[in-house]
Amino acid sequence: MNTPADNGVSRLPLLELCGVTKVYGTGSAAMEALRGVDLRIYPGEFVAVMGPSGSGKSTCMNILGCLDTPTAGVYRFQGVEVGRLTRNQRALLRRHYLGFVFQGFNLLNRTSALENVELPLIYRHTHMIERHSLAQRALEQVGLTGWEHHTPGELSGGQQQRVAVARAIVTRPVVLLADEPTGNLDSKRSAEIMALLTSFNRDQGITIIMVTHEPDMAAYAKRTVHFLDGLMATDHTHEENR
């Protein structure tokens, strides 16, 4: 599966892990979270990452999102070896190429939906007028026109996650990393969020990597990777998607 093609033409990996290990602690307290993982993800893929607690899936996600670094092995992003980047360069990679959606929404409680979505643009020093316009457009894309000035406390859980999705895509990222994005939602709201993610993958070509423990949510992806005991156990491509 690790050599997909587009109309018969092979592509270079967008993200690539080669022999990646991750060890927490030292000596007798050392815990090997990843034990030599090889993984390639290609432009435009929608990959679900599954596995039981302690399997290594979240550690893998953190490394792909430049939130953590491998103990050994190589991580390449668009062919660049991430381990050779400085802390500031990794921060710039996150800021300009990656978007994040979390289970707990991670919104600022005292600020409006619009201001929450603008936050990544502030870090990028985007001019205020352009910032407002881009944030408004992102909220429109997730179906929240008219809710711009509501705070998270005035929004339902599903609406809060929509704001989080808008915040993730407002910078037009190359990759969106979603960590249990439907974990706090009921089945109807979960389906709505998955429909949004699917549309951004299909219509905008955003590569999506999603950690989930729910098979129904993983079924929206084009590919499912299962982790077990720090290793990639299976790698399955779906013939048909929703």
pLDDT at 1 over 50: no
Residue 86: CB atoms within 10 Å: 8
| CA–CA gap between residue 209 and residue 67 (Å, rounded) | 15
- Is residue 138 within 8 A of residue 167, CB to CB? The reply is yes
240 — pLDDT class (breaks 50, 70, 90): low
Task: With respect to residue 135, please indicate whether it lies within any of the assigned structural domains.
Answer: yes
Helices first, then strands: H and E counts in the chain: 7, 12
- Is residue 36 within 8 A of residue 73, CB to CB? The reply is yes
Task: With respect to residue 3, please indicate whether it lies within any of the assigned structural domains.
Answer: no
Task: With respect to residue 179, please indicate whether it lies within any of the assigned structural domains.
Answer: yes
The pLDDT value recorded for residue 170 is 96
| CA–CA gap between residue 82 and residue 165 (Å, rounded) | 25
- Outline where the chain has alpha helix (H): 57-64, 87-97, 113-123, 128-141, 157-169, 187-204, 215-218
In tens, the pLDDT along 61-110 reads 999 999 999 999 999 999 999 999 999 999 999 999 999 999 888 999 99
| CA–CA gap between residue 87 and residue 108 (Å, rounded) | 25
The pLDDT value recorded for residue 8 is 39
- Structure-derived torsion over alpha carbons of residues 78, 84, 85, 86, reported in degrees to the nearest 10: 170
- Is residue 95 within 8 A of residue 168, CB to CB? The reply is no
The pLDDT value recorded for residue 11 is 76
Report the pLDDT averaged over residues 159-163. Answer: 95
The pLDDT value recorded for residue 239 is 66
- The model carries a pTM of 0.91
pLDDT at 242 over 70: no
- Per-residue CA distances from 84 to 89, 92, 175 (Å): 9, 14, 20
% of the chain exceeding 90 in pLDDT? 87
DSSP secondary structure letter of residue 154 = G
Q: Which residue has the higher pLDDT, 7 or 159?
A: 159
User: Tell me, what CATH number does 71's domain have?
Assistant: 3.40.50.300
pLDDT at 5 over 50: no
3-class state of residue 44 by DSSP: coil
Whole domain around residue 47: which residue ranges? 11-237
In tens, the pLDDT along 185-222 reads 999 999 999 999 999 999 999 999 999 999 999 999 99
- Is residue 220 within 8 A of residue 46, CB to CB? The reply is yes
pLDDT at 7 over 80: no
The pLDDT value recorded for residue 103 is 87
Task: With respect to residue 4, please indicate whether it lies within any of the assigned structural domains.
Answer: no
The pLDDT value recorded for residue 27 is 87
Task: With respect to residue 2, please indicate whether it lies within any of the assigned structural domains.
Answer: no
Write down the mean pLDDT value for the chain.
92
Q: Which residue has the higher pLDDT, 28 or 162?
A: 162
Task: With respect to residue 5, please indicate whether it lies within any of the assigned structural domains.
Answer: no
pLDDT at 16 over 50: yes
Task: With respect to residue 226, please indicate whether it lies within any of the assigned structural domains.
Answer: yes
Structural domains of the chain, count:
1
Task: With respect to residue 133, please indicate whether it lies within any of the assigned structural domains.
Answer: yes
In tens, the pLDDT along 107-150 reads 999 999 999 999 999 989 999 999 999 999 999 999 999 999 99
